[in-house]
Structure 1
Amino acid sequence: PVTEKGYWQIEMGDFFIGGLSTGVCEGGCAAIVDSGTSLLAGPTPVVAEINHAIGAEGVLSVECKEVVSQYGELIWDLLVSG
């Protein structure tokens, strides 16, 4: 069931990759389901562990205000151009 109104937040159990437990969220944790993106967000150590388990490299963490100050005009132009 949805546990937080406003977005699709659910309670998640253990996280499995290739049928093996990662130990991530073993005791349960909140997760947000968004089928429109490939975003994986969470505490850096957890995201790094998941990335490692699936063979991905690198973790990018950026403050939203930095993105807006650097790319705000471009984002706006892309949004209004349709």
Structure 2
Amino acid sequence: PVTEKGYWQVEMGDFFIGGLSTGVCEGGCAAIVDSGTSLLAGPTAVVAEINHAIGAEGVLSVECKEVVSQYGELIWDLLVSG
């Protein structure tokens, strides 16, 4: 079930790659499901492991705080303008 209004946020358990546990969400964690984007965000090591497993190439990896500090105003303007 959706756990956060405004997002398709759900509670998630551990996930597996190639039948092996990643151990990332063994104790449970929140995840947001968005079928309208190809964005995959999470801990760098886990995202890299997932990308490798699915054959993703040309991946851009940036810390969120760097993106916000560099593009925060533009992001806000785009969100507000709809």
**Fold in common (TM above 0.5):** yes
TM-score range, shorter chain: 0.5 to 0.7
Label 1:22 to 1:57 Cα distance change in 2 as closer, same or farther (>3 A). farther
Total equivalences in the alignment: 82
Paired residue secondary structure (1:65):
helix
By how many angstroms is 1:4 displaced? Answer: 1.2
Q: Distance in 2 between matches of 1:54 and 1:46?
A: 12
Pairwise CA RMSD: 4.0
Over alpha carbons, which structure has the higher Rg? Answer: 1
Q: Distance in 1 between matches of 2:55 and 2:38?
A: 15
Label 1:20 to 1:5 Cα distance change in 2 as closer, same or farther (>3 A). same
Label 1:58 to 1:48 Cα distance change in 2 as closer, same or farther (>3 A). farther
Label 1:81 to 1:18 Cα distance change in 2 as closer, same or farther (>3 A). same
Moved more, 40-49 or 61-70: 61-70
Match of 2:30 in 1: 30
Identical aligned residues as a percent: 98
Label 1:74 to 1:19 Cα distance change in 2 as closer, same or farther (>3 A). same
Label 1:18 to 1:76 Cα distance change in 2 as closer, same or farther (>3 A). same
Label 1:54 to 1:22 Cα distance change in 2 as closer, same or farther (>3 A). farther
Matches of residues 1-82 of structure 1 in structure 2 within 5 Å? Answer: 1-57=1-57, 59-62=59-62
- What TM-score, normalized to structure 1? 0.60
